[in-house]
């Protein structure tokens, strides 16, 4: 006697992966980027030229480098508003050291160390100091900007031979911001690619990355699991400070002149916007380096396309602001749909 066997429907691994792919936030951002690129390529033939695409890559590189750092901070459920001021402070100090006759490596190390130290102070005050990171970094934004003004006496810093820089050191420094690999790929873009790859490995393939997500998901649960929550958050801020300093150095190596009162002003808003557009959540616990890269490209391609189309700079700011509002709205809507 043969018994009837009731079959239960099962989902194949492949179909499950396809379903997860379409549900991923990055997929939506990628589709939006592709649609935008198609529209711009039809609106202006110059958009898809190799020269313009490489320019877009260079233009988004500094924003991208800083956005990688902001991804760590936002995932840990914190925020950093001081990145524009750190960008200015480190870039100007590094430029001044080179003008004073310092070698390239010592000047770079001092600059990057200052960026990391400011990040450490932000992290320590936001954790052991029991201050909200919004308030801490808002204050640090003014402190770092004020320090840059004091150090430079409010005067522009120009990095060239006339100011006293060593010609060989100056040539090496300029290459970091202005050089091209194989006379084609901008050095700034190469730095962005390296930072993005290292950032992805650290966030996705290491225990530290797992702890970042755990801390962002729930401080209490992470602490019960034995994770040193405060230390993880401090490291996120240190990474942010370091990468802000690196971007500032590359900026002044590209345009070897800057002023403390203007350099990097408002940059923190673009960094946070690009990271959120890429899928990082203000509530913490969510975000990927891939999503951040796509978010950076969305902002960069949009700016570039509007310029090629001859759109007024005023409308450019308006439209980018609308994209930011839309991205945050989508984030809130998707979280509410999932009951988070």
Two tokens, residue 315? 């409308």
> What is residue 47's DSSP assignment?
G
Domain extent listing, the chain = 64-265
Please report, in tens digits, the pLDDT of each residue of the chain (340 residues total).
444 545 545 556 666 655 555 556 677 788 888 888 898 888 888 888 888 999 999 999 999 999 999 999 999 999 999 999 999 999 999 999 999 989 999 999 999 999 999 999 999 999 999 999 999 999 999 999 999 999 999 899 999 888 888 899 999 999 999 999 988 999 999 999 999 999 999 999 999 999 999 999 998 999 999 999 999 999 999 999 999 999 999 999 999 989 998 899 989 988 998 998 888 888 888 899 999 999 999 989 988 888 888 888 778 778 878 877 776 676 667 656 655 5
Q: Are 196 and 64 in contact (CB under 8 A)?
A: yes
Q: What are phi and psi of 37, to 5 degrees?
A: -65, -40
Q: Which of 259, 85, 248 is nearest to 158 (CA)?
A: 259
Give pLDDT, residue 1.
Answer: 46
pLDDT of residue 72: 97
- Return all residues near 16 (Cβ < 8 A) that are at least 6 apart: none
Q: Which two tokens stand for residue 111?
A: 């600059």
Measure the CA–CA gap between 52 and 226, rounded to whole angstroms.
49
* Distance from the Cα of residue 47 to its chain's centroid: 24
Q: How far is CA 56 from CA 37, 50, 194, in A?
A: 12, 10, 17
Q: Which of these, 76, 79, 82, 37, lies nearest to 56 by C-alpha position?
A: 37
Helix (H) or strand (E) holding 228: none
pLDDT at site 74 = 96
292 close to 263: Cβ distance less than 8 angstroms: no
Report pLDDT for 78: 95
pLDDT of residue 33: 86
pTM of the model: 0.89
């Amino acid at each position: 006697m043969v018994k009837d066997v009731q079959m239960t429907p099962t989902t194949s691994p492949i179909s499950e992966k396809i379903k997860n792919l379409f549900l991923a936030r990055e997929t939506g951002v990628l589709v939006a980027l592709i649609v935008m690129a198609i529209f711009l390529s039809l609106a202006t033939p110059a958009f898809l030229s190799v020269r313009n695409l490489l320019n877009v890559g260079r233009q988004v590189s500094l924003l991208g480098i800083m956005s990688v750092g902001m991804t760590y901070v936002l995932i840990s459920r914190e925020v950093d508003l001081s990145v524009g001021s750190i960008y200015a402070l480190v870039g100007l100090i590094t430029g001044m050291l080179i003008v004073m006759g310092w070698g390239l490596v010592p000047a770079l190390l001092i600059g990057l160390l200052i960026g990391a130290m400011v990040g450490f102070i932000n992290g320590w005050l936001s954790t052991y100091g029991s201050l909200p990171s919004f308030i801490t970094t808002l204050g640090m934004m003014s402190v770092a900007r004020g320090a840059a003004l004091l150090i430079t006496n409010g005067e522009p810093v120009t990095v060239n031979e006339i100011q006293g820089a060593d010609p060989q050191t100056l040539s090496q420094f300029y290459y970091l911001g202005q050089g091209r690999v194989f006379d084609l790929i901008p050095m700034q873009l190469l730095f962005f690619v390296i930072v993005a790859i290292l950032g992805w490995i650290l966030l996705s393939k290491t225990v530290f990355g797992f702890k970042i997500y755990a801390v962002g998901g729930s401080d209490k649960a992470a602490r019960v699991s034995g994770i040193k929550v405060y230390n993880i958050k401090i490291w996120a801020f240190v990474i942010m400070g370091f990468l802000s300093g690196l971007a500032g150095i590359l900026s002044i190596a590209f345009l070897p002149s800057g002023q403390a009162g203007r350099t990097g002003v408002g940059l923190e808003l673009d960094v946070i916007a690009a990271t959120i557009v890429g899928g990082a959540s203000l509530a913490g616990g969510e975000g990927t380096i891939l999503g951040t890269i796509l978010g950076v490209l969305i902002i960069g391609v949009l700016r570039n396309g509007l310029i090629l189309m001859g759109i007024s700079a005023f409308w450019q700011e308006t439209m980018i602001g609308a994209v930011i509002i839309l991205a945050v709205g989508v984030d809130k809507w998707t979280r509410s749909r999932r009951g988070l």
